[in-house]
Structure 1
């Protein structure tokens, strides 16, 4: 009986956690936070589109033409920064511009990043500086090389900016293979749980952006001192949003309708690397935060199905009922994200299994960090900021 009582309390705590997440975590599970519609400006501001690219020759033929083809009424130019690619990324970009036309394209390379800089932010710095020399842009669109934009994307972003300093859209990631269906929608679901979109645009401290599509005012960038102020950040999009908001800027983040990532993650190994390379950095390389995260994931995501099934087998009615209720709430909150991605709803009850995979990816991220292979991306490994030269 004492054992059943302890299990009942644990399962009840899990259910209470889900009740709090459902009602008090910014309604993170809803997918209706989309680009705000505002009146178009009388005069369209100039925009510099900065695209950092490292070994992206495979995806550029799908993504870059969509950027060059933007139907933008004002002046816009594209600056693709080749970050030490070895696959001919720069040549592919020039050939695509020659074949497709569209917005003016400049391809440049900053050389290897100095100590203390991540490669992407060093490339972004170089792109922003070059854009400043070529044009007096009011806005910067920071977009990744694997992001494809609808033809009205830039126009809609600028129109939505209004009185905002930063507008970011979470690109719709590719969902084709079985592993992508299982893991990708959950990736966005967990991100929204950590950074509820409704809180980001509010007056609180919550700040985040999605690095694939960030429109930011040049004055806000200068006021926040970025990218220099965040030069070591592995999770650069969140760091950028925090810097802009800390500097008094107004920011917004929501889900995209016409901005898509074309990068494939066909197997578990590719998805595992995508998550594990930055998971421990998200926890600030703190073992205590890692421990708390593992315990929290276990309590919130793993206890409900174990209690529901185990309680039913053992005849523990309270444990089974509380576990089933928590599992049902969890499943219900995941349904809107699956609908957004056009996935079958029978995947919703499998969220605990996906959460277990994310738990293992997070632990693996810490293990790789202490082995000296943490935050590895395309041949580069980044240490903690305080360990950088």
Structure 2
């Protein structure tokens, strides 16, 4: 199979779909890989590195999209990229379709087979291709939030960990999954007061077993959220319903409960965000204010640390890339139910029930389309 790796074009996105090491593995399995020139520059991988791994280098993205049977990316295809998709071509990348009707419409119109990293499942019920980026984003959320708390950036002028004789800041984490637990690791490490809210008592038990008395926990109710919003300095949104739009846990009216200069970091923004006032921002312009509350809603947070993120992502995507290339997309999807869970759009149909429900499409069972 001819695998194509275009350069990412989303604002300040420096990751790349395949590292030279991943390319070498694919070539060893008998496949061709076409990489757009300087696609790996953001992670320090040169065209020479890719050539040494066995790739061919394309001068333009158009060449990659026109020739490749499978496109491997990181972020969702932008409009100019979606226009180049075609029937019979496979797209393997993050999609986050539920809050993105325009992208969904274009993918449906393309007739391509579109597999989303974020809905591929594992035998243990996890999301193995989402987990590493959630780990990165969770850890970055505290780093970004602590920076936004500086007065020059609109924040309360507070050092999150405090100093001897001065109380540490309070971090409220909404959602105790991969994002939330990794945010807690960083916040605890800085010496902050940490509260995690989740709707699952079992999740809270796991967090207490992991962190002990370093955190407080609460079951998610409107009352518990409002109570903790009132004295939190930094609020992390880390809720996830796989494939679906994130629930809006904090309304605009609830912002008035918060102290001026408090900071919101909405890691759930890829799925629409869990704050009513959230809208996607970029690394170039990461924040804005609503009612005196600083909002950080960068939709590709891990793109800010591309070396770490790309390596972590390739560790988990490579086996699926090879399976798709070795068997062809249709057979690979038939054989692997976990990969099949990642199929979101195929042959002009929406094959993910959550996406279909969110955007008003009729959901088609992936097996029905595949057979």
Instruction: Please report the TM-score for the alignment, with normalisation by the length of structure 2.
Output: 0.31
Structure ranking higher in helix proportion: 1
- Determine which structure has more spread, i.e. the larger CA radius of gyration: 1
